[in-house]
Chains A and B, each alone.
Chain A
Amino acid sequence: MIETSGEEYSAQNAPNLTPEIAIANLQSSDLSLRYYAAWWLGKFRVRQPEAIDALIAALEDESDRTELGGYPLRRNAARALGKLGNLKAVPGLIRCLECADFYVREAAAQSLAMLGDKTALPALIKLLDGGVEAAVQVPGFPHLAQPYTAVIEALGAMGATEATSLVQPFLKHSVPRLQCSAARAMYQLTQDSIYGELLVTTLATGDLKMRRVVLGDLGAIGYLAAAEAIAQAQVENSFKLIALKGLLEYQLPQQSDTFGISEQAIRVMNLMDSLL
């Protein structure tokens, strides 16, 4: 089964929801309305407390099950909570890391990374138990035993330096996507350019799909030395622009209104201009 993120809903086809209706629909007897409402609340960033509470409750849902034992509503609720920025969701999401459904664990890891609360680190690190040896395909499923990519990217984004030695072995994992996640996290944890260069090498050698993924990684870590390689990559300009935007944002000070522009930032913008 290929799990979808719900992003394929188009606004035109969607039932006309308001935050109040969406929150109420999370309790609807129609399971598809619940599933849709959870996605909608995240998509439209409905941050009111009632929405947060209803989504946290949906993380424990038992009624919506797939034929393979998955929890569709929990997945969407977990994804939505990452987008809403409320730390009240953290304990529930941490519990989701132990859910039997891989996609719930994956969504929870991604959302915990977005929320950035370090209390989640022990539970995330626990998912790396067994190391690379345990990171094998689950028979009959299109995924590994744990959502390693999401977990490792979360550890990198949250600066979990205590996990560095656990992440490093994944540079040698047989799944290329996972190698990239490990390189990305290792760069964030160590700031060692050797890991940034691993991504640059993959950008030159990987297939088109992998090149797009790596552009996302480089943008996420703001690896400035990759700017020219990004601009020259054999990938659609839209992906290159997003990656360079990531680099640019790392070159801009946090204070948004009165920043000066550095030489490096100008260099990145000149590359972006050339891709228009």
Chain B
Amino acid sequence: MDELIRAITVADTPSQMVTAVKNLAAAKDPSAIPTLIAVFGYNNPEAAIVAAAALTQLGEIAVPQLLDQIDDYNYGARAYSIRTLAAIADPLALDILISTTLTDFAPSVRRAAAKGLGNLHWQKLDISASQIAINRALETLLFICEDTDWSIRYAAIVGLQALAKVAIVQSPILAKFQLMLTKDPEKAVRARVQLACSQ
């Protein structure tokens, strides 16, 4: 493992970096987690995608470090962290996904968080905790359906469509969708609502 990690620190070219990250990812070893997260900050999209996939495969075990090492100063890196947390879907990420959805300045990061909010594995929580969590996710997504940025509203719909698999929140979601079908100014957003309603 040390050798695989060292290969990343000495990579001189973008393609060497990608190869090194692929090799490290193939080891599927939890001790690689901090190094894989650090790759998000190297401004190498190809390597970052490999690292994100590797972390997603490692799954829940990577979540605490992903949460702990979110880069507040690099929104590119932050987007990969949020996408990875969204893909792993551990409800431990709920708070960070909510705050990111509501307050991050980068729309790309907010969209990733909003999509992730709909897909968390609620069954990992006990019944009462899961109800509170689901309602917080719902509230957040309903709130950003009023965002001025169409792409944020679009992501909210994608999140809400996923969340609507939970029976207890179906009716407020469908009510919101009906409202958006008549009120949203963007045709593309209304089309996405229609798609959500038809699925």
Tally inter-chain residue pairs, CB-CB below 8 A: 47
Neighbouring A residues of B181 by C-beta, 8 Å: 257
Q: How far is the CA of A265 from the CA of B181 in the complex (A)?
A: 16
Question: A245-266, CB under 8 A of B: which get 1 and which 0?
Answer: 1001100100011010100011
Q: Say what secondary structure dominates the interface of chain B.
A: helix
Do A269 and B191 contact each other (CB < 8 Å), given the known contacts A241-B151, A257-B182, A276-B158? yes
The answer to whether the Cβ of B115 comes within 8 Å of any Cβ in the partner chain is: yes
Judge whether B155 and A252 touch: CB under 8 Å: no
**Does A248 lie within 8 Å of B108, measured CB to CB?**
no
User: Which one, B45, B111, B188, B198, contacts A276 given CB within 8 A?
Assistant: B111
- Answer whether A248 and B111 are a contact pair too, CB < 8 Å, given A241-B151, A261-B198, A276-B155: no
Q: B158 and A245: CB pair below 8 A?
A: no
B185 to chain A, nearest CB (A): 10
Q: How far does the alpha carbon of A241 sit from the alpha carbon of B151 in the complex, in Å?
A: 8
Point out the residues of chain B lying under 8 angstroms from A191, CB to CB.
none
From known contacts A266-B195, A272-B154, infer whether A236 and B108 are also in contact, taking CB-CB under 8 Å. Answer: yes
Count residues on chain A whose CB falls below 8 Å from chain B CBs: 20
Partner of B192, one of A236, A238, A256, A269: A269
**Contact, CB under 8 Å: B194 / A259:** yes
Q: Are B151 and A238 in contact (CB under 8 A)?
A: yes
Please name all residues of chain A whose beta carbon is closer than 8 Å to the beta carbon of B114 when the two chains form the complex: 276
Is B112 an interface residue, CB under 8 A from the partner? yes
Within 8 Å of chain B (Cβ to Cβ): is A18? Answer: no
Q: In the complex, which residues of chain A have a beta carbon less than 8 angstroms from the beta carbon of B192?
A: 269, 272
* B189 nearest in chain A by CB position: A245
Tell me if A's interface is mostly helix, strand, loop or mixed. helix
Contacts of B154 in A (CB 8 A): 241, 272, 276
What is the bound-complex CA distance between A248 and B35, given in angstroms? 39
Residues of B within 8 A of A168 (CB): none
- CB within 8 A of A269: which of B111, B150, B195? B195
User: Separation in Å of the A252 CB from the closest CB of chain B?
Assistant: 5
Write out the residue numbers on chain B whose beta carbons fall within 8 Å of the beta carbon of A242. 151
Chain B residues 114-148 with CB under 8 Å of chain A are 114-115
Say yes or no: A237 contacts B108, CB within 8 Å: yes
Q: With A and B bound together, what is the CA distance between A168 and B197 in angstroms?
A: 45
Chain A proximity mask over B12-56: 1 for CB below 8 Å, otherwise 0: 000000000000000000000000000000000100000000000
A256-B112 in contact (CB<8A):
no
The one of A238, A248, A257 in contact with B188, judged by C-beta atoms closer than 8 angstroms, is A248
The answer to whether B195 touches A245, judged by C-beta atoms less than 8 angstroms apart, is: no
Could you list some 12 contacts between A and B, CB below 8 A? A234-B45, A237-B111, A238-B151, A245-B151, A245-B188, A249-B188, A257-B181, A259-B194, A272-B192, A273-B158, A276-B155, A276-B158
Q: Ordered nearest first, which 8 A-B pairs have the shortest CB separation?
A: A276-B115, A276-B111, A245-B188, A276-B155, A248-B188, A241-B151, A273-B158, A237-B108
Give 6 new A-B contacts, CB below 8 A, not counting A241-B154, A252-B191: A237-B108, A242-B151, A256-B187, A257-B181, A272-B192, A276-B112
Interface residues of A (CB under 8 A from B): 234, 236-238, 241-242, 245, 248-249, 252, 256-257, 259, 261, 265-266, 269, 272-273, 276
Residues of chain B at the chain A interface (Cβ within 8 Å):
45, 107-108, 111-112, 114-115, 150-151, 154-155, 158, 181-182, 187-188, 190-192, 194-195, 198
